[in-house]
Amino acid sequence: MSLHTLDAIDAARAIREKVLSPVDLIEALLERIERIDGRIQAWALVDREGARRAARQAADEAARGTFRGVLHGVPFGAKDIFYSAGLRTEAGSKTMAGFVPDYDATSVARLKAAGAILLGKLHTTEFATTDPAPTRNPWNLVCTPGGSSSGSAAAVAARMVPLAFGTQTIGSNVRPASYCGLVGLKPTFGRISTRGVIPLSYTQDHVGLIARCVEDIALALSVAAGRDPGDASSSRVPVGDYVAALTRRRAPRVGLLREFFERATPEVTDVTGQAINRLARGGADIEEAKLPPTFRAVAAACEHGDPWGFLRARAQDPAPVPPRDGPVARALRRAADADHADPGARGHGDGRRELPAPVVDLGAAIDHRAVRPDEFGFAAGGPAHQRPVHRGAAALGGGVVRGYPRPRVGAEPLA
């Protein structure tokens, strides 16, 4: 097996068993990045020398039988709105060019404390809002990987890193995971601290995770989750053993929202139907469900001020503060609604169901309605989990939200 194809949980096990050196793993990934990222453009910054130093230290510690945590020697990437001490954090914006924070976001610091190695920063849309990012979908370079965690999803899908942090305010973590055929998790609000993450909405921002298998998500969540005194919105609920929970299988209860199928393309409807049938054959309890009339009103929960002037003013101090300027926020949300209010545009869909990755010319003017689904179902603070069900020309990178753990995908993009 090529080292760049290793999932995080397998790499961690191999390093602990001393059959894999973190140095060899880092070098394999750096070679992969050098070879293919010119076409994909997932990375805003690759910390080659820093990653190599950390890998040598991790290898020396492993040789002595010292392991800092469950992710010892395992590389990860972070969306470029996460603070990283000594590395540029530019949020996809020229207004942040050259900014270097002096501390790590809590989530980044926790993975490092568990032995993980930050390989670099991943492209995002500007301030995690307006599409597009420069990144392309590694399964088809004329397609978008989705936003705003564009680079995070593309890098993981292209086997340039096994694990990455994304963020989600509405659909920015699970949508890119879906478009790229990955596992994406938006945890419950406050489950992972947002301290050190440049904000979009203090009342809706979630730190998310993207990986190629459910086990990697569970492992990383067990490290990143937990109360943070520096984030007043972080949860006090104890952190569970998410990896062990994967072995306690029980039949899932799946709500089927047929009203969403009315806006789907025939290809997506077909693939989703196949996934539903497989879940049913596997023992899942499939139930017809309907959304309440007030469902879309959840978008009004966003309570912060001007997302440009306010973000720029706060970008160098992204500590949580109380919600701001509710009327302005609601006016901005109404404007955003109007910007992508046409549900009939091809490629425009709802992130609460399966989506294909739209074809988009990233070098031309973009109709944002084709790349920014109105995923108001994700604006609430509950968890959302995406897992892939299909890859192909008809429904590239399709996924099902709130899915069920699946076998790992053996296909590799840009092989």
SS3 57: helix
What is the DSSP-derived secondary structure letter of residue 197? B
Structure-token pair, residue 120: 């670099």
Phi and psi based region of residue 392 (left: phi greater than 0; alpha: psi -120 to 50; beta: remaining): left
The whole-angstrom separation of Cα 207 and Cα 167 is 4
The whole-angstrom separation of Cα 160 and Cα 340 is 32
> Residue 159 — φ and ψ, nearest 5°?
60, 35
Please count the other Cβ atoms lying within 10 Å of the Cβ belonging to residue 230. 13
Q: Report the catalytic residues.
A: 79, 148, 172
Give the angle 117-122-127 at the CA atoms, nearest 5°.
Answer: 130
Nearest Cα residue to 181 out of 142, 219, 130, 146: 146
Q: Are 327 and 334 in contact (CB under 8 A)?
A: no
Q: Are 53 and 160 in contact (CB under 8 A)?
A: no
CA 76 to chain centroid, in Å, comes to: 12
The whole-angstrom separation of Cα 88 and Cα 73 is 22
Give the angle 382-385-390 at the CA atoms, nearest 5°.
Answer: 150
Q: Are 51 and 22 in contact (CB under 8 A)?
A: no
DSSP labels, 90-106: -TT-GGGTT---SS--H
Q: Are 127 and 311 in contact (CB under 8 A)?
A: yes
Classify strands 253-256 and 117-122 as parallel, antiparallel or unpaired: unpaired
Q: Are 30 and 184 in contact (CB under 8 A)?
A: no
The whole-angstrom separation of Cα 37 and Cα 141 is 11
Q: Which residues fall within 8 angstroms of residue 323, CB to CB, at 6 or more apart?
A: 202, 203, 303, 304
The whole-angstrom separation of Cα 186 and Cα 328 is 26
